[in-house]
């Protein structure tokens, strides 16, 4: 099979040579794919506009020896257009695609769930269905859960005792009861735990009704949790303008 | 690749291989071309390389490449002081100058906002732009960043920042390339061309 076709979200692009670009895409069937798009930086390019980050595309690729080559593209959802017109959405979306690239770093290893999650999150962001900070935190928590680092917010992460609990520790995996609580664990508000649980479960009626204060606290916890389990800093997270 | 060669030739091939767009084979070809050239030609090339590093600096006002403290455009008194065109790279200044449409001043940001590569607003020359706008001479800022996601995001960041300053903030139009076919245009470009359609004068 020399050519194959798939649905994909463009995660990021690198310039290559005179007018080419290397695309990093998360595909539905083939996981993370890096491919060359030839001549797309020329203003006369027929498909340059379709290969911008955040867009969902239907793409045909030719398997090259090293990198695949994009031969045809069609737009399925041009999320990039509404996202790039709003600086807050743009910074939020970059944090999401960076996370997706980090969590699926083996090329051609199918990651359909991660793909569906990312495409859904970008659509929610582009349609402004919910506050962008909630969409981001919900995406991050669920992407981590799919990758195998699901946090717990209702029961104790160590002994499994039912909550609600008052302590949170990223290294331990979420909420902790008074017996399992390590020294120096964070003590977030009960409403923050409720919000985190809702974001992980996708319970938007609870999340949309939450307070600014608890949103900020849960964002902080999500970011600590994410960076602890990915074992590195997410570069774009510090540039996110929350709204 | 260059390990098969020795000494000076290997060094040259290794150095040439660092250049953008030059691969191992290309580096070999250039190296042997240099070897076969006149000593005077090679000396001229070497001199040009040394001089570009020694003489060229960045303009203190706009950030464009310059041979003195200010670039040619910033010292030119015939240019219009009320308009500033904001671009990403010095190369973009040259591209706009070629159109002969614009007679104002420029401001080079030095890139576009790209959080994944760790480039936020603070890494660009946005503070310098705000200082230039502070005295009120400028009445229009034309944002000419690249029409890709990073460039558009930079443009929306700037327009938000400048919106409250009481000056006109404009963005270069996007649309169909001259000499192209409508049916081949991608839907994003065509959509933008529709949004930015202009009234025909009778």
Inter-chain CB proximity A90 and B118 less than 8 Å: no
Is the distance from CB of A32 to CB of A40 less than 8 angstroms?
A: no
Residue in B152, B160, B188 nearest the CB of A78: B188
CATH classification at residue A20: 2.40.50.140
Contacts of B88 in chain A (CB under 8 A): none
Query: Which site among A39, A239, A243 would you substitute to test the B interface, given the most B Cβ atoms closer than 10 Å to its Cβ?
Result: A239
Q: What own/partner pairs with CB < 8 Å and gap ≥ 24 does A21-27 have? A: A21/A51, A22/A67, A23/A51, A23/A70, A24/A101, A25/A57, A25/A59, A26/A100, A26/A101, A26/A104, A26/A111, A26/A114, A26/A115, A26/A118, A27/A59, A27/A115
The residue-averaged pLDDT of A140-166 equals 88
Domain extent for B44: 2-55
pLDDT per residue as tens digits for the range A30-42: 999 999 998 888 8
Q: What values do phi and psi take at A10, rounded to 5?
A: -80, 120
| A123 lies in the same domain as A138 | no
Q: Which of A22, A124, A238, A232 is nearest to B113 (CA)?
A: A238
Q: Do A138 and A63 share a domain, yes or no? A: no
Q: Are residues A135 and A122 in the same domain?
A: no
Are A109 and A184 in a shared domain? no
Least CA distance to B151: which residue of chain A? A84
Q: Do residue A84 and residue B149 have CB atoms under 8 angstroms apart? A: yes
Contact between B144 and B94 (Cβ < 8 Å): no
Q: Kindly give the confidence (pLDDT) of every residue in chain B, 202 residues in length, as a single tens digit, with 9 standing for 90 and above.
A: 446 788 888 999 999 999 887 888 999 999 999 999 999 999 999 999 999 988 888 998 889 988 888 888 989 889 998 999 999 999 999 999 999 989 999 999 999 999 888 888 889 999 999 999 888 888 999 999 988 888 999 999 999 888 888 889 999 988 887 777 788 777 778 888 888 888 988 7
A135 and A205 belong to one structural domain? yes
Which uninterrupted H or E stretch holds B94?
A: helix B90-99
How many domains does chain B divide into?
A: 2
Q: What is the pTM of this model?
A: 0.83
Closest CB to A75: pick one of B157, B160, B187.
B187
Q: A73 to chain B: nearest residue by CA?
A: B186
Q: Put the strands of the sheet holding B83-87 in their side by side order.
A: B105-108, B83-87, B140-143, B168-171
Q: Which residues of chain A have a CB within 8 Å of the CB of B26?
A: none
Q: CA-nearest residue of chain B to A75? A: B187
Domain at B20, CATH number: 1.10.8.420
Please indicate, yes or no, if residue B62 is contained in any of the structural domains.
Answer: no
CB contact under 8 A, A90 and B156: yes
Distance from CA of B149 to the nearest CA of A (A): 6
pLDDT over 80 at A193, yes or no = yes
Residues in chain A with CB shorter than 8 Å from the CB of B152 are: 84-85
> Does the CB of B140 have a partner CB in chain A at under 8 Å?
no
Select the residue of A44, A50, A84 nearest B153 (Cβ to Cβ): A84
Q: Is the ipTM of this complex over 0.85?
A: no
Domain that holds residue A54: 1-129
Q: pLDDT tens-digit profile of A94-145?
A: 999 999 999 988 888 888 999 999 999 999 999 988 999 999 999 999 999 9
pLDDT confidence bin for A243, thresholds 50/70/90: low
Residue of A12, A43, A78 lying closest to B187 (CB–CB) = A78
pLDDT, position A98? 92
Count the Cβ atoms, other than its own, within 10 Å of residue B107: 26
| pLDDT of residue A8 exceeding 70 | yes
Q: Which of A50, A78, A236 sits opposite B115 (nearest CB)?
A: A236
Mean pLDDT score of chain A, rounded to an integer?
88
Kindly list the residues from chain A whose CB atom is less than 8 angstroms away from the CB atom of residue B187.
49-50, 75, 78
Q: Are residues A44 and A160 in the same domain?
A: no
Residue A65 exposure: Cα atoms within 13 Å on the Cβ side: 0
Do A122 and A230 lie in a common domain?
Answer: no
Q: According to the model, what pLDDT value does residue A171 have?
A: 87
Check: CB of residue B126 under 8 Å from CB of residue B161.
Answer: yes
Residues A190, A232 within the same domain: yes
């Amino acid at each position: 099979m020399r050519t194959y076709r798939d649905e994909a979200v463009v995660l990021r692009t690198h310039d290559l040579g005179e007018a080419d670009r290397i695309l990093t895409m998360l595909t539905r069937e083939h996981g993370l794919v890096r491919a060359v798009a030839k001549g797309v930086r020329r203003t006369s390019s027929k498909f340059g506009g379709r290969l911008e980050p955040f867009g969902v595309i239907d793409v045909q690729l030719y398997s090259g020896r090293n990198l695949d080559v994009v031969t045809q593209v069609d737009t399925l959802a041009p999320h990039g257009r509404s996202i790039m017109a709003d600086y807050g959405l743009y910074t939020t979306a970059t944090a999401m695609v960076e996370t997706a690239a980090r969590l699926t770093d083996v090329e051609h290893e199918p990651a359909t769930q991660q793909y569906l999650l990312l495409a859904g999150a970008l659509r929610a962001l582009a349609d402004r269905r919910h506050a962008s900070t909630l969409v981001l935190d919900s995406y991050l928590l669920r992407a981590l859960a799919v990758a195998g680092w699901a946090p717990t917010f209702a029961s104790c992460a160590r002994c499994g005792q039912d909550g609600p609990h008052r302590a949170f520790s990223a290294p331990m995996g979420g909420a902790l009861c008074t017996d399992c609580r390590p020294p120096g664990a964070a003590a977030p508000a009960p409403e923050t735990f409720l919000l985190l649980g809702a974001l992980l479960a996708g319970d938007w009626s609870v999340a949309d009704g939450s307070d600014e204060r608890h949103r900020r606290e849960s964002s902080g916890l999500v970011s600590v949790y994410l960076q602890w389990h990915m074992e590195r800093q997410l570069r774009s997270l510090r540039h996110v303008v929350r709204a | 690749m260059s390990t098969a060669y020795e000494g000076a030739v290997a060094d040259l091939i290794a150095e040439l291989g660092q250049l953008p767009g030059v691969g191992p084979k290309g580096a070999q070809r250039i190296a042997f071309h240099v070897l076969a050239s006149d000593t005077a030609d090679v000396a001229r090339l070497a001199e040009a390389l040394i001089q570009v590093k020694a003489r060229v600096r960045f303009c203190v006002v706009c950030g464009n490449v310059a041979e003195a403290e200010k670039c040619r455009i910033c010292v030119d008194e015939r240019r219009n002081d009320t308009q500033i065109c904001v671009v990403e790279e010095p190369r973009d200044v040259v591209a706009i100058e070629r159109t002969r449409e614009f007679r104002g001043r420029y401001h080079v940001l030095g890139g576009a906002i790209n959080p994944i590569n760790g480039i936020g607003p603070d890494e660009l020359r946005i503070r310098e732009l705000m200082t230039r706008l502070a005295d009120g001479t400028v009445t229009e800022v034309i944002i000419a960043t690249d029409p890709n996601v990073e460039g558009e995001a930079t443009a929306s960041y700037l327009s938000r920042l400048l919106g409250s300053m009481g000056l006109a903030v404009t963005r270069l139009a996007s649309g169909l390339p001259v000499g192209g076919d409508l049916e081949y245009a991608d839907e994003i470009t065509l959509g933008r061309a529709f949004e930015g359609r202009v009234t025909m004068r009778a």
